[in-house]
Each structure stands twice: as C-alpha cells, then as structure tokens.
Structure 1
C-alpha cells in the first residue's frame, strides 16, 4: 500500500519539524502529537518512515543489530565477522489492544512445549530497534504498557524477567504517539517522558484547506503519479535528514547556550532536569538540521517551544501551553560569542545555508513571511499569524459550546403565571481549589475496561486462577499441571509400535489442546460517573453553587486519576441539557463546569429523565461498564405542571435503571423541607447533606455506604 508523501502534507509544519528533530537525534526522546481528529497525524507519521535512510543490519539478527557496533549481549549474538545487509527504516505500529507479552516479548511456547527448550520470542520493541515505534491513540493505551514503552525509549534497552526467561536486548527506538485530547489525557508523569510535544489543528484558511483536499483527491485518484510528482521533494528531505544525522556530532553546545537553556527551564518552573536535557538535545538537533555548527538563540527558542509546554502542567486540568513573550524575555537579546577560530577549515560544514544545492530552509514560527500563497509543498511551512488568531477564536468558540443556552426567556408551565417575569440568571459561580478525595469504588467484581477504580476481572493484573476458556494469555503452570495429571492415564492407554499395550517409551511430557489453560487476572476497572447537577436559581442561595462546583470538580479530579469516563447533565429553566456526553476527557467536563451558569427555575423531572436516557444508551454501548449517578440538588422542582409530582414518580421508578446513585443535598437554611432526602429514599440512593462534604468526606461517605 502506497503512503502519502511526507513532502506533500500541508498545514502541519510544527509536527513535521518535531518528527524530523527526533529522527535526527533519537536521544531527544520521541514525540507526542496532540490534535483534533482529521489533522493528518497518522498520515504524517507513516510517511516519515519512507524518507529515512536505509539501515545496515546483521544478517539474520532478529534484533536488527548494527554491524558496525553490534550489541555484545544480543540474544542472537555474538556477531563476530557476521554478514550484513541493508533494509528500509522500520515503522512498527503498536495497536491499542496489544498485550504486554506482545510488546516486550515472552517465552516461545512452540519451542517450550514442543522441544522442551526455554527460548525467547522477541516482541514489538525488538522489531522497532533502530526504527520508529508508533502508537496511535496513545492516551487509550493501558498505563502499564505506556510505562514499559517510555522506559525502553529512555534506557534504550528492554529487559524481560518472566516465565523462566531472562533476556536483555537493545531497544533504541523513536517513540511517536498521537492522541485526540477529547478522548482523555495522559497523566502528567507520562507526558514528561515524551521528549517533544506538538499541538495540531486544521487550518482555518480556506485556501489552505482547499489545497489539502486537492492534493488528497489527486493522491487517491492516482497514487503512483502523485508520488512521482513529489519524488524530488522527498529526496531533498531525505538527503537533508541524512546530512543532519552526520553533522550532529559536530554541533557545538557552548556554555552560553547551556546557560540560556537553564535560564529558560528555571523561568518556566518545570519540574526535574529532564526538560533541560531534552531542550539541549533538541537545540543541537535543530542546529544540525539548519546546517549550523553552533547552537544559536533561535535553536534554543525552537527547542523550548517543543520541549516545555507539556511539562508546565501543575494540576490535572491545566492545559499545556507556553507563554512565548516570557520565553523571549528569558532568552534576552544577547547573541552567542563567536567561535574561537571561525576560519579553521576543519570546522567548515559542507551544508552551510548559502550552499546553492542545499534544500530550502523551512520557515520558522518567528519568520515574518506571508505563507498564505506558498504552494511549494514544503511540509515545514508555519501557519501565518492570522491562522493562529483564527485557531484561537475557534478554540474559544468550541469552549462556548459547553455553556448551556439561557432557558429563562421561555419560562412556562401550569404552575407559573403568564404575568410572572422570567427568573433572571444570577451569574456563573467560580469553584474553589479542588481537594483530594478517597477512591469511590463499586461493590463486587466487574469486567469492564481496565482502569484504577473498582475491582474487576481484566486482561492484565494479578493472576488469581485459571480457566479452560481461551480468553487470555496461556497460564503455563496450570497447563503443565493439567497435562501432568493426565500423563498416567495417557501412558497406560496408548499402544506402542509393536502392538502391545504399554507406554510409548518416552518420558517427555505430552501437552494436548485439552490441557491448555488461560490465566484469570484480577485488576481494576474504570467506571462511568454521571454527574447530574441542579443549576437553578435556588442553588445560588448562600453561595452554595461555588461549594457545589468545588465538590464536583474534586470528583472530576478523582475520575481523571482513576481513568474513568465522565458525563455531565445539568438542569435549569425549563429543561435539562446533556452538557457533556460520557467521555474520557474529564478536562472537557471541568471546562463545561467552570462555564456553567446558574439561575431560573428547577426542572428536576427533566433532569432525571435525561440522566436515565443517557445511562440507558451508555449501557447499550458498553454493557460491561458499571455506572454511578451523582445527583447534586436541593430537591425542589418548580418548572412545569405538577413539577414535584412528576419528579417523584420518576424517582419511584428509578430502581428499573439499576444504577447506584448518591444524592448530595444542597438545601440550606434553618428550616428545611427535606425534599432531597425524600428524593433519595424514593430512588434508593444514599443521601449526603452538603454540610458533611468536607475535603476528605465526599467519597468516603459513599464508600462507607458501599461497604455496609
């Protein structure tokens, strides 16, 4: 299958630069690409492999050792005087559903069971050695697999100690991950392990969008002709990458450059020293890519823009970003001192910027060049300032979608007089600093998607038993035990070649298909937490809405850490709104919560009906994921005819929804009507007064109820 040419991709210049830098210097640590769907993330990664230089490998080595410096401890070695061959640079794709055995390697069962040999079967890390390991939707990958990948990328080795196998082999990989933030974020600890990160979004320039469509249609119509038309541009980029790789060791990182890098990283208050190291390596790679022998201010600026944004996240809901004005102030205006002997012929670089046959230098974000009319096909072109402004406006427009429409201009219902003025919207309350809460877990043992909340039978975790059903990895010990138990019966029931009854004359253990056992592993699952929040005017009394938002935000933080899916339903005015459909992106839920206005009447019945419908649809989509409903209300219902009666009738039938529920009572004042308590009793839910929700009480109370 033909891949789209790397040089033909339009509008992803920062991503192209990050990919190039990490291939020029794999020690940079890989690239994480964050962006909305349909922005050519996967297309560009797959296209990158075709422009990388061919590799010399030891013939027959499953680990792809370099014949110039083969690994002394290679499991297929030693490679003394071994023949060599060449191969294209490898791009190994890791599927989201891959198992740990497939990633790091495991015991070769065919040799172990067939010949009684303990042999190692290499995994994807061995295949990707000296190449690219690509993980699409890396944020959906199990956290323990991400840890394995990042450790291998950082150490350059893969060590396996399991199932009687003890192997360590080189795994020098360029790790590339792509993700859509709407589907959930990576933990800050994992974000830090990626060397570089970029944000990509579709251009808002109609001319550039039309160019993207034009090129894609041309490629789909005749891939061979399209690739031929970009063959020269492809060859130029490939030659430039090879030249930069050779020039990398000649680039000088001066004390002045190191001081600047340290100043920038300290000024942005990044944690640890990994940011400084990655920025230094990326700056050296950028200088080599630009054909320079000394790291300049511009190299440091470009490297910092790629290496620091994702390392500035302090809280789970902090968005990655970098203040470029602060970056420029930290860099200052001073230029690096000139080299001691600039005329030394040994320091001359054969790829200086003024060489006529050198490929055109890509435009940097600081270049004051209009790129709107550029149709050269160079993937390194940076969007104009107008594109950035339009992209920022588009982001603001997307955030505004989280705010429910103002329902107070259509107040109606049998209990409301036509002469009554509409209830005003009282404003948008701001939440306080969220607090850490205890884990909320569901009783029993589930079988949902792997996570970190409730106990469940999962595809990975602690082995708790074995099964005849072939649903997971082979439980080697149980398989051998089952075969050993049948050994005597099989020996006495077999017939030898002489026609007499007896043993077969061999002491080797025979394992048949009926002996195979699968491991039953117990781990943690993630759950669906559906938040049903009353945002009516009565909730604004005594600043209760700020306290409610703080509690809900704390629940969201816990859901983020436990890898849950969350949904947000709000009700106010005359109806309920599914502000955020169930998603793994708790950041989106937090953004919607922050912009949630309060005011108007209380359509409690509509809120309950919307929640029940949402839970029913989610049960169809994912029957194994267990859910928890958290209703935050004072129990009042004032919108529509017989508002309270309708809400009570829905609550009486809540048992049919079969979802564990908690009602957080927000009623305040000395004299209380007890409507929320009555609602909880009708729903069979736990009733928790808001006064009892302290920094360590919200989820603790729910857990206590579940443990009872």
Structure 2
C-alpha cells in the first residue's frame, strides 16, 4: 500500500462527483464549503446511496488550515479579530498546519457533549473550575456531520443550527461562562423512511438535495466495480484518484479566494427575489440563501458576476424543501415554472465554458447515480404497489349490514381523506422513559428537575447534590481539607420530568360496514389528523387493517409519517369484519416492538364500529381477543365510526371490555371536545 495515501473512499471516485460533472449532492457540498454562511446541506435519500461515504470523502479535498498548536478552539492565527478561551497567543506561539476535521455527532449525544461542560475530574480532584470543550469547538473551521439527523433530538438540532447561523457557541452552566467561535459546515444525512424533520428545522438548512440509486445498469455496474476495487486495495485505489482530488482541492481554494469579488448585481438580486416570490416560499431566508449560493456557484464556475445559470442552480438546491405547505407534501421544485420565471428577465447568459466544471449545471444525481460505498444500493426495497379499483357507493342494503354477520359484503372501494384538523391530544397513562418527544410524561434528559436520586436512577449527574452527599462524609473518611474524597455511593443523578414520544399504532376496520364513502372519508380524515399530530410529537406510527378473511400489517412501526399517510390513502374498504384478527394482530405488533425496545410505550388507536361479521362465532372470538389485549396493559382508544340514526353501540361495548377510552369519530377534533375533556375523570383522560 503506498505510503501517505489516505484510505478513505475518494470524493472524486464517487459516481456523480467527478470534478467536471458534479451532481446535485456533490455540488451542494462543495458550494457550502466555499461559502459556509450558506448554512449547511441536508442530504435526503434511501439507504445505500452513499450519503455518508460522500460526506466523509469531502473533508479530504478541502484545503488544510493553520492553527495554534495549543489551541483547542482552532482559531485562525491570521485573523486579528479571532479570540480563543485558550488564548491569548503571542507572535512566538507555535503554529501547525493540519487537515480539516470531520467531526461526527452521534444521534445519542447529550447537550454537554455538544456544547462542552465543566471538566469533572479536575473539579473533583483539584477543586478547579475548568471548561472542557465540546464538539462545536472541535468542529470550528471544519465539518460537523450528523448522520440520521432526523433522529436527533429537536433541541440539539436547534442548537446546531443556531451555532451554524451565528458562528458562535455560548455556554453558561456549572459555574462556567464561555463563548467561542463555532463556524463550521453543517451536513446532515437522513433516510425519509425513518421519519422527517420538522418544517421549521428543515428550513434552517441552507441547501437540500434528494439522492436515489441509479436505474441505469451500466452505472450500477460501475458503482460495484469501483467499490470492489477499493475493498481489494484501498491505498492503490485512492492513489489512482490523487490527481482528481488535487484538482478539486485547488479549485475549491481558488473559488474561496474569488467569492468575495463576485458581483451580485441589483438585477440579479431582483431576479432572485422574483423567483422566491414566484414559488411562494415563506420568509426571506430563501432569498438570502439563494443569493449566497448563486455567488458561490459563480465563483466555483470561474465567473466574476452572477448569471441566470447560477441563480437557476442555486434555486434548485435552496428552494425545494422550503415549498412544503404541510408535513405530507413531498419536497420538490417545478423546473418549468423556474424556467418561466427566469425567462422573464434579461440577465446576461453565462460565457462559453473555458475550464473544468462549467458543464455541471445540468447533471442530476438521478442521472449520474450514487457513489460506490459500503452501503449497498441493491438492498433498497422495491416500492410496494397495489391495484385498487374504484367502485360506486354500496347500496343501502349493503350499508345496513347486520351486526351478527348476516348482511351481504359490499365490493371494495377506495375513498380519500379530506382536509385534516387539529385532533384531541391522546396520551399514554403513567410515567415513561422513552425517547424524547411531545406526547406523554416521562423521565427525560431535558425538562424540569423534579428531584435527585442515587446512581443508576435519573438522567444525568447532579453536581451539587453529589458534592453535598460527599461533604458530609469527609470527616469519616479522614479528610478535613484539600480535595474532596468522592466515592460511588456519593453520586446523585438529576430526575427530570419531560415528555416522550410513543408508538401510535392504528388498527383500522376496512370492512364492508365502513365502505360508505361519507363514513370512510370521515374515518380517514380523523386518522390523517392523528397522523399529523404524531408527526409533530415525534412518534413512531404503525398501521394494521382488518377486512375480508383476516388482518394485515399495512405499515410496520416507523417514524415516517409521510409513508403512513400514503398507505392510509390506499386502504380500500369491503368484505366482512374479522375484528378478532385485527385485535390479535395489533397485539402481536406491539409485543414485537416491546422486545425491540422495552422502553416503548404504545398507544393503540382502534378505529371500528365494533361489528364482528366473520362467521357465526365472530362476536365470541372478538370478545376473547379483546380480553387478551386488555391483559397487556396497553393504553387504548376506540374511535367509534358508527353513524346514522340506528346505532348498536358495539364500539362502546368493545371499549368497556378493553378498559379503553371511547371516542366517537366526530369528536376526534380538539375543538369538539374542549369541554368534555376538562370534565372527564383523571384516570381515563388521555388529553391535555
């Protein structure tokens, strides 16, 4: 293996990241390193599309930086305005030249790990108050990378984005008051199937790109060929791309030097504003980011002024994720509309290409394909498809099916939901210890301190309580002055009461008794409203339906509420009502999730009219299934879909048997239940 050759997968070896033909992902990453004030990049895509591999290769092509040898905060020695908590540094202070750091933030990181905190060992052993820098300090002048950023706690995402926007981090805690520079390139990657970022956080990322595996067999073969070559001889493979890597480094350095001199004319700025207004994006952040990106793209292309080509490429990267009107809207940009908006202006076109990289304005990752990486694009599941037939509404005789199962089964039909509304808040009883969220009360990493507890209980070290416990024992340990003698039994942890996310499992009756369009539309609208609520509260969701001969897990538990909404829209109605099968399948799903994560606290939402029409013993089997489900201790809500003047009250009876809350579908709306929720008994309330 050649000496001195990095063994990471080279950035320029990624299919779609060649110096003269960058795709959207490669270009977005490079532009945000040219102008970090753009605000970072969010990369969304299915698994196996080399998101992580490409980001890790980026750090190696960035020009090296100079720093003081003893400075933990990596300030620029040539910046007279820069200051470090480790400074001041004199003219004789030793300097070093080092590579740009790629700092990875684990999903399970704490706020102390990100911001830094009191150096515990020196505080206890020497009685000194000293600040231990966190990941933000380490990432200064480098790259901060968060894989699966959609799974990161919201307050940490807020913290990262605030630091990226201001370029500074401030710590005020544990007798420590420190402020330091924190200018870094923030890059997040995520798989949308595992859940979405809140729109407010999505908007804070400067650029967003969508990546997908290539469909061209030749490109897929090239990905495999490069990956296998890299695996067999990493050093030789990296050496074969050394020239391309050096070219990228030199071009980035040249663009950084030129970006301040790029002219953003009033005409170009007005055109950017016109484009953003034309796409009806909220706020002015889109205009600012698009302008900064267009300037960086002009510098990258070697132009001295921003042109239409720069604005077009900037808009494609900066606007799609800002056009989402609600959480279920897929991000995207109408390029035909973009071209029409750009055509209305007479801004000069770019000059003819005169160097590498001028041709990268039209390539996309879908066309060029993903990189070769350790993630295999071959394991991406094929999208599920199903053929649904639209049929007329059931006849009145079909709708008046007998509760004991003697009525005829209507044909299948698919009905869409209407506009969702704000639903009543459903909560899990008791106090949990699940992942941070916004639904049920729980012992949490953040929240109000409710007390202290011995080691092994609680969510974080409580410094004051620990020192108080140790202080009273010092005479017995032979210590009257000097450092505190600390033992394991002295440790105390803070008990914080916050909120957790839950597993919200929907068990939906899709039988013939639900097939009437008006009823099924009301049911789907109620479920869609609850899904929207689950999205906002960071819950996992799952979907079980029962109809015809049995029950089906339409959507295994996931954090992708978007996928759940899409599956909901596809659910047909028709056939008999195997209520027992639905209840038992819901119980199995919950038990499997509890095995995966014992901290998971489920909320089961059963949407049914309570009828069991799958045979003569259907009622008896449904009662047995309900009794079994009741023994599992699951917080359950029965959403009663029965409507019309003639009602049997079977869903209410089911709720009583389950020990569940009974909620008519028309009262899922929070507005309809404001007074009723306030009057309910405490032990049965699931609302706030």
Scaled by the length of structure 1, what TM-score is found? 0.87
Further displaced range: 678-687 or 562-571: 678-687
Alignment partner, residue 316 of structure 1: 327
Alignment partner, residue 552 of structure 2: 577
Describe the SS at the equivalent of 1:77.
Answer: coil
Offset of residue 448 of structure 1: 1.2
Describe the SS at the equivalent of 2:591.
Answer: helix
Further displaced range: 170-179 or 541-550: 541-550
Counterpart CA distance in 1 for 2:307 and 2:258 is: 16
Contact 1:630 1:663 in 2 (8 A): yes
Alignment partner, residue 400 of structure 2: none
Aligned pair in 2 of structure 1 residues 252, 317: CA closer, same or farther (>3 Å)? same
Please list the CA deviations of residues 391-428 of structure 1 after superposition, one character each: whole Å capped at 9, or x if unmatched.
xxxx998363697999xxxxxxxx999xx997311x22
Alignment partner, residue 31 of structure 2: 21
Alignment partner, residue 696 of structure 1: 671
Contact 1:65 1:71 in 2 (8 A): no
Offset of residue 116 of structure 1: 1.9
Aligned pair in 2 of structure 1 residues 182, 705: CA closer, same or farther (>3 Å)? farther
Alignment of 1:549-564 (within 5 A): 549-564=524-539
Offset of residue 240 of structure 1: 1.1
Contact 2:15 2:368 in 1 (8 A): no
Describe the SS at the equivalent of 1:460.
Answer: strand
Aligned pair in 2 of structure 1 residues 694, 445: CA closer, same or farther (>3 Å)? closer
Alignment partner, residue 36 of structure 1: 46
Counterpart CA distance in 2 for 1:115 and 1:80 is: 28
Offset of residue 515 of structure 1: 2.3
Contact 1:404 1:596 in 2 (8 A): no
Counterpart CA distance in 2 for 1:466 and 1:62 is: 34
Counterpart CA distance in 2 for 1:403 and 1:581 is: 21
Alignment partner, residue 152 of structure 1: 163
Alignment partner, residue 13 of structure 2: 8
Contact 1:11 1:382 in 2 (8 A): no
Query: Which of residues 354, 360, 363 is equivalent to 2:360?
Result: 363
Query: Which of residues 205, 230, 236 is equivalent to 2:241?
Result: 230
Quick check: 1:47 aligned with 2:57? yes
Aligned pair in 2 of structure 1 residues 473, 674: CA closer, same or farther (>3 Å)? closer
Further displaced range: 176-185 or 476-485: 476-485
Please list the CA deviations of residues 290-337 of structure 1 after superposition, one character each: whole Å capped at 9, or x if unmatched.
111110101001001111111111212221111111111111154425
Query: Which of residues 416, 424, 428 is equivalent to 1:430?
Result: 416
Aligned pair in 2 of structure 1 residues 533, 308: CA closer, same or farther (>3 Å)? same
Offset of residue 93 of structure 1: 0.3
Offset of residue 208 of structure 1: 0.5
Aligned pair in 2 of structure 1 residues 626, 702: CA closer, same or farther (>3 Å)? farther
Counterpart CA distance in 1 for 2:452 and 2:516 is: 57
Counterpart CA distance in 2 for 1:542 and 1:353 is: 59
Offset of residue 536 of structure 1: 1.5
Contact 2:67 2:77 in 1 (8 A): yes
Counterpart CA distance in 1 for 2:106 and 2:158 is: 15
Offset of residue 604 of structure 1: 1.4
Aligned pair in 2 of structure 1 residues 422, 562: CA closer, same or farther (>3 Å)? closer
Alignment partner, residue 461 of structure 2: 474
Offset of residue 217 of structure 1: 0.6
Matched positions, count:
649
Counterpart CA distance in 2 for 1:22 and 1:325 is: 26
Further displaced range: 684-693 or 307-316: 684-693
Further displaced range: 586-595 or 30-39: 586-595
Aligned pair in 2 of structure 1 residues 528, 45: CA closer, same or farther (>3 Å)? same
Aligned pair in 2 of structure 1 residues 657, 253: CA closer, same or farther (>3 Å)? same
Aligned pair in 2 of structure 1 residues 72, 4: CA closer, same or farther (>3 Å)? closer
Structure with max Cα Rg: 1
Offset of residue 571 of structure 1: 1.4
Please list the CA deviations of residues 608-663 of structure 1 after superposition, one character each: whole Å capped at 9, or x if unmatched.
12111111111111111111111111112223452222212212332222212121
Aligned pair in 2 of structure 1 residues 54, 190: CA closer, same or farther (>3 Å)? same
Aligned pair in 2 of structure 1 residues 422, 550: CA closer, same or farther (>3 Å)? closer
Q: Which structure 2 segments of 5+ residues have no match?
A: 1-5, 18-22, 370-379, 392-403
Offset of residue 467 of structure 1: 2.6
Describe the SS at the equivalent of 1:568.
Answer: strand
Query: Which of residues 521, 526, 530 is equivalent to 2:501?
Result: 526
